[in-house]
Amino acid sequence: MRRVTLTLLIASCLISSCASQWQEPVDVPEPVVTPDATAAPEAVAAPDPIITVGDPTNFLADAPTVFITGANRGIGLEFVGQFSTLGWNIIATARKPESATELMAIADRYNQLVIERLDVTDFARIDELSTKYAEQPIDVLLSNAGITPKYKSAFKNVSGVDWDMAMKSLEVNAVAPLKLAQSFMTQVAASEQKKIVIISSKAGSFELSPKMAMMYSYRTSKAALNMYMYTLSFETPKKGITLALLSPGQVNTVPGMKIPNAIETDESVSKMLKVIDGLTPEQNGKFLDFEDGAELPW
Ligand SMILES: NC(=O)c1ccc[n+]([C@@H]2O[C@H](COP(=O)([O-])OP(=O)(O)OC[C@H]3O[C@@H](n4cnc5c(N)ncnc54)[C@H](OP(=O)(O)O)[C@@H]3O)[C@@H](O)[C@H]2O)c1
């Protein structure tokens, strides 16, 4: 455990010294499990899969609607909480709604929330949801789901690249958001606000990411995401849509872990909401900072 803490400190210092305003979350150390040789392994029944929770007919006709991916924890969950406070209709997606206890708790008390099961790499399910919500204007399509860097692999050099994770990161962080945008473009264009918001990262910026070999898969997937969206931004104005990428800042989203200088999800999300609220067509295709919407370099 001491070795893990020390490594974490070194890693944190390394990042800070390389890029003063740039850091990324790291994963929690693995819990220490003390095996009990005498105890028989307990059979834990997996909860039944849940496809949908809530009913979109509860949506208010005069309230704006947001569609959020990766809504069961971290930044996505905080977005759901804050959008509910603002009275929005919310379509929140999660890979396993049955395990998303905090999201379910919001659905218990907030009628205008529908939870849909979605792994963003399941393109057939994205199409199914697009069909289900074909007549539902979506004011803000918010692509938030992402594979974030893991503690164990984040600081490895090229010999340590996990190729499965490399492919998966591209699929989840870059390709899936483009598929999502493609499938829901019509619903966004039919809305009043017409915004596509993509959560990216400074890790994907050539200028802002640290000048060192680290997080090969994550930073590359976010750079690919940026280019996909930059390219798409040449199509969105024709539909009246404003597309922007957002950096959420460095945010504590790993339970039980506080990263030096990181902010909490409520601060990141409340500031991003202001940026989203104030988005103008001139910001189409730009990469913006959570703090004040300042344009960030690619
Ligand atoms: N936290 C930061 O400091 C920071 C900094 C820069 C950018 N970001 C970006 O902000 C976004 C949210 O980050 P976070 O810190 O809140 O991350 P997080 O706590 O690790 O949560 C990631 C979310 O994405 C979901 N997800 C992962 N793979 C998915 C898949 N295949 N299909 C559907 N959902 C999937 C997770 O669902 P499961 O629970 O099912 O795994 C979870 O809901 C990410 O795009 C991340 O890259 C975060």
pTM of the model: 0.89
Atom of ligand 1 nearest to the CA of 254: 19
Q: Which residues in the chain show pLDDT less than 50?
A: 1-22, 25-35, 37
Atom of ligand 1 nearest to the CA of 222: 47
pLDDT 10s digits, 40-82: 567 777 778 999 999 999 999 999 999 999 999 999 999 999 9
For residue 143, how far is its CA from the centre of ligand 1 (angstroms)?
Answer: 10
Ligand 1 test: best mutation among 26, 28, 73, 266, most atoms within 8 Å of CB?
73
Ligand 1 test: best mutation among 99, 253, 271, most atoms within 8 Å of CB?
253
DSSP letters spanning the chain: -HHHHHHHHHHHHHHHHH-TT-----PPPPPP----TTSPPP-PPPPPP--EES-GGGS-TTS-EEEESSTTSHHHHHHHHHHHHTT-EEEEEES-GGG-HHHHHHHHH-TTEEEEE--TT-HHHHHHHHHHTTT---SEEEE---PPPPHHHHT--GGG--HHHHHHHIIIIIIHHHHHHHHHHHHHHTSSS-EEEEE--GGG-TTTS-SSS--HHHHHHHHHHHHHHHHHTTTGGGGT-EEEEEE--SB--STT---TTPBPHHHHHHHHHHHHHT--GGGTTEEEETTT--B---
Atom of ligand 1 nearest to the CA of 218: 47
Gyration radius of the chain's alpha carbons: 20
Ligand 1 test: best mutation among 12, 22, 27, 75, most atoms within 8 Å of CB?
75
For residue 133, how far is its CA from the centre of ligand 1 (angstroms)?
Answer: 24
Domain borders along the chain are 1-31, 52-289
pLDDT 10s digits, 289-298: 999 999 999 9
pLDDT at 46: 78
Ligand 1 test: best mutation among 95, 151, 178, 272, most atoms within 8 Å of CB?
95
- Asked if CATH classification 3.40.50.620 holds for the domain at 52-289, the reply, yes or no, is no
Ligand 1 interacting residues, C-beta cut-off 6 A: 24-25, 69-70, 72-76, 95-96, 119-121, 144-148, 172, 199, 201, 248, 250-251, 253
